[in-house]
Chains A and B, each alone.
Chain A
């Protein structure tokens, strides 16, 4: 094994432990300094902050770091996530220790942030000197090169020049500062290149850091410091310069410490480079985030006024993310080569982030405090003057969870777990009871479903129907409870129960969830929710199911850890989790359908109240200071995209199939191809004119949602056609041959082999196209009507009418003009229709979010189809 690929353990000896921990902590302090300096540059915290203000910052920081390190360490201890690298562990613990120590210092002494920065740099500097000397004297076994190298030397020479010139400029007159600069460059360059690497790459860094520390601590450059160069109208202030010093000082120290930690030499250089790149990447991301932040900041106060969400609701929404993050963290990190540490740290980062957030949220619930952010936004007053209004965005300690907030994530998780569990067919014995349950569940389920349909059609006009319906709901819930308990009986039948009666688990749990789900749908159609006293029966059975699912999952996990059939137990654990989520979904559905909150003691599942976003969830208020929202425009845009997609996607894909699979490639296809390409690059306003001149006279002679849908559909069509054609063409002919050789007809082949294989490409086209049409403004002005004064959202679903004559289906809502986000922006900002400018920016922000949401739906479905192709 060559040195370059040696694992870390090769170089780790017991007596070097203290040295390693020391340097890990130094790196951690460097990272901490870097992050704090970035926060100071971004003015998140001011340099002069001290006392309560700084205490708050450090308390939050401590919570974040504790959550991150704590959750990761906890999962590592439970063997859910592997953290093998000693370096990752060391830096993690170092971060924890350094953060807690700094927090303690801040609390105890009440120093200003700027002083703290100086101290941090001083500590960094001293540790580096210690590490360098330890290596030089041979107290630690290292492999330094003869020199730190020309490149490093040049960098330090440059830094030396800067320091020399600055110091010279402060004390000397005229061009002499140049001499001082050159002197500094020579000193640092020689000091880096001439000595052995362990001295050459620690002492210069320590010196630079010490200079920064001295400048800051002596107050030579403090928050009040100003530099006004001639010829510039502005200047530089200490508020920016001090954090920049800390930023660079921390970067240098982390780099040097990383080199020391990896014992210099080739490995040292690599680790050092990795750390610098990592921190630079963090900075890049931070810069990009701040650019987006600046762009949206103009609209954000308006868009997010009065936003509120309960902490528990947020926690529920975190659950799917946690599962994703754990999944990512469980991926093997490859070989045990030393730089697997890098990959490991990337893998566990999301888990750590969620841990931080969860700790903060739980903290809110426990302490009962509200995490709020106060700000003000402006609206247009009566006399068209800007009126500032105070508002606040808050995470409340509320323990109510919105019904849909609960139902959606848990439904996704239930399906996810269920799909990941492998089939237990043929495992264990088949008892007569199992047979009976397996036969009974579909019968009862179908009966309940038929009853639901009957109640939808007939209604509950007669009292007797309600009585019967109540009976059915009770029977359904009882059957669900029975099936669920049947799953539990696998556990009670002895230690081998989970293996012998393996199929009890899937049959019982799936049966229970299905039956209760059908019952939950039956309930609102009968308009009853039977129960004993204050406890309704459906949520009670759902809670029972949650418990049973959890018990089964834990039992299976324990059985697996004791050793045994991995596949069976893992499947059962996943099925248990799936049932937990499924029953929670039903709990949410029950609350949503019946409108009655479900009280769970510590928490409540409520229909309203846990989430409020006035700007998006309220309708437009025509006049007055109360700003109202853009709900009709959001709904309008969503309907436009949905309508255009339903029109264009089948047509485009169908045409692509026809052009690619059925007709010969020749002049006709060439003409069609040119035409579609030309159509794709046609200006959108031309589409609008086409719609206004051709469609509107034929669609009730008024601008309408339907006309908007059709015009946007025409715009979407060419892109869908082009990308689908490319995707279908790229499906290998081998698949078609293989299918034909089995005697399968062409259409069947297209349907079951070609289209699934082409799906990711088709979806990519749809994603691009939808992104374009969602933000399209010009044609909508012409065909949709750009009215802001629509107080009501288009109620498309509730407006379907069945007619006895052609066209048989009529929808009043799509025949009317409505609002859309892009036209709303145009109207407020460009045309000056009512509302302040910030209202327009807010609308733009919401439009961005809507497009982003559509993108993410597209990307998720593309990933799904790709996975299906690649892994199944």
Chain B
């Protein structure tokens, strides 16, 4: 252990020096070292040299990281550091932005998602996403949940289905109930499933969005600052929920709130200005004893 500490100190010094003196190569090597997180078992997601440009803006630079299965990975960093961009690359939501240009590779269970043959529908079913602001559809709670399964043809409802004897009302109810229970919302809404989802409180709406995402049975759940628009009580509910979800799902969560990252995540990746991934390690390690001076400054509040 003592050796590691020594190494760290040396490394820190050399970084601070190199800020003035060049030696880009060693900086690069150090960064690779600090961002290489070792864990048992195969990675769920494996990102290799990912670069993203929005027009001329280089938003993400050479990011490589492996994300372990069934755990919570937090992405933290100051505004505009590229953490949300990174998250949106994991289910190819950035494809929806016309000016985005993406290079590099992202593998889900060993298969490349940026392969031209990738089935986007299948990918997004496996990698679900929860957004910063709660965005339920202007439909009933039930329809919000069953929207995904219905559109994927997993359940059929409606007059035609009923006439053909293929009415899956019971299955629909089952999915709705399971998803809402998983999202810890069932108790609060079980008696008003047919009410408009927009009538729920902000925290309930966000949990509904999580339930909607769970209804299509994803493997990975990406969350983009899921609690930033919520009050403290709703936030703590979402945090508890994230920890529970990690037992069955791989959760990647972007957050602005460092305490939140420390509370809920198993490992933390720190992005700093310019779209660089600076350090990625066990959460305890990052918050108690980071390798990089810049990360320490950021975490202790000296910068960012």
By a beta-carbon cutoff of 8 Å, the part of chain A in contact with chain B is 422-423, 664, 732, 734-735, 737-745, 748, 752-753, 756-757, 869-872
Of all chain A residues, the one with the shortest Cβ separation from B165 is: A442
Give chain B nearest CB distance to A844 CB in angstroms.
Answer: 42
B216 at the A/B interface (Cβ < 8 Å)?
yes
Complex: how many Å from CA A871 to CA B121? 31
Decide yes or no: A734 and B131 within 8 Å by CB, A740-B93, A743-B120, A753-B137 being known contacts: yes
Decide yes or no: A737 and B131 within 8 Å by CB, A664-B98, A743-B120, A870-B196 being known contacts: yes
- Interface size bracket, B side: 20 to 34
Complex: how many Å from CA A732 to CA B131? 14
Give chain B nearest CB distance to A867 CB in angstroms.
Answer: 10
- Contacts of B121 on A, CB cut-off 8 Å? 743-745
Of all chain B residues, the one with the shortest Cβ separation from A870 is: B196
Of all chain B residues, the one with the shortest Cβ separation from A744 is: B151
6 contacts between A and B (CB under 8 A): A737-B135, A741-B129, A742-B125, A753-B137, A870-B196, A872-B194
- Contacts of A734 on B, CB cut-off 8 Å? 131, 133, 135
Contact of A870 among B122, B131, B151, B198 (CB under 8 A): B198
**Residue-wise interface mask of B (116-135) relative to A, using a CB-CB cutoff of 8 A (1 in contact, 0 not):** 00001111110011010101
Asked if residues B196 and A743 are in contact (CB atoms below 8 Å), the reply is no
B101 at the A/B interface (Cβ < 8 Å)?
no
Complex: how many Å from CA A741 to CA B209? 11
Asked if residues B209 and A738 are in contact (CB atoms below 8 Å), the reply is yes
- 6 more CB-based (< 8 A) A-B contacts, given A743-B120, A869-B196: A732-B135, A734-B133, A738-B131, A741-B129, A742-B147, A871-B195
Asked if residues A741 and B128 are in contact (CB atoms below 8 Å), the reply is yes
Residue of A735, A753, A870, A872 contacting most chain B CB atoms (<10 Å): A872
Complex: how many Å from CA A812 to CA B205? 56
- Contacts of B139 on A, CB cut-off 8 Å? 756, 872
Asked if residues A743 and B124 are in contact (CB atoms below 8 Å), the reply is yes
Of all chain A residues, the one with the shortest Cβ separation from B138 is: A869
Give chain A nearest CB distance to B132 CB in angstroms.
Answer: 10
Asked if residues B137 and A742 are in contact (CB atoms below 8 Å), the reply is no
Complex: how many Å from CA A757 to CA B199? 16
Asked if residues B196 and A740 are in contact (CB atoms below 8 Å), the reply is no
Asked if residues B196 and A738 are in contact (CB atoms below 8 Å), the reply is no
Q: What's the dominant secondary structure at chain A's contact region?
A: helix
- Contacts of B198 on A, CB cut-off 8 Å? 870
- Contacts of A871 on B, CB cut-off 8 Å? 195-196, 199
By a beta-carbon cutoff of 8 Å, the part of chain B in contact with chain A is 91, 93, 96, 98, 120-125, 128-129, 131, 133, 135-140, 147-148, 151-152, 194-196, 198-199, 209, 212-213, 216
- Contacts of A872 on B, CB cut-off 8 Å? 139-140, 194-196
Complex: how many Å from CA A742 to CA B125? 6
Complex: how many Å from CA A869 to CA B98? 30
Of all chain A residues, the one with the shortest Cβ separation from B197 is: A872
- Contacts of B131 on A, CB cut-off 8 Å? 734, 737-738, 741
Complex: how many Å from CA A740 to CA B151? 11
Asked if residues B194 and A744 are in contact (CB atoms below 8 Å), the reply is no
Asked if residues A744 and B148 are in contact (CB atoms below 8 Å), the reply is yes
- Contacts of B196 on A, CB cut-off 8 Å? 869-872
- Contacts of A738 on B, CB cut-off 8 Å? 131, 135-137, 209, 212
Complex: how many Å from CA A286 to CA B160? 52
Asked if residues A743 and B138 are in contact (CB atoms below 8 Å), the reply is no
Complex: how many Å from CA A748 to CA B124? 15
- Contacts of A742 on B, CB cut-off 8 Å? 124-125, 128, 147-148, 151, 212-213, 216
- Contacts of B151 on A, CB cut-off 8 Å? 742-745, 748, 752
Complex: how many Å from CA A625 to CA B111? 88
Asked if residues A743 and B122 are in contact (CB atoms below 8 Å), the reply is yes
- Contacts of A664 on B, CB cut-off 8 Å? 98
- Contacts of A741 on B, CB cut-off 8 Å? 91, 93, 124, 128-129, 131, 213
Decide yes or no: A740 and B96 within 8 Å by CB, A734-B133, A752-B147 being known contacts: yes
Decide yes or no: A743 and B137 within 8 Å by CB, A870-B196, A870-B198 being known contacts: no
- Contacts of B137 on A, CB cut-off 8 Å? 735, 738-739, 753
- Contacts of A740 on B, CB cut-off 8 Å? 93, 96, 124
Complex: how many Å from CA A737 to CA B133? 11
- Sorted nearest first, the 5 A-B pairs with minimum C-beta distance are A743-B124, A734-B135, A741-B129, A872-B196, A742-B148
Give chain A nearest CB distance to B227 CB in angstroms.
Answer: 17
Complex: how many Å from CA A740 to CA B133? 16
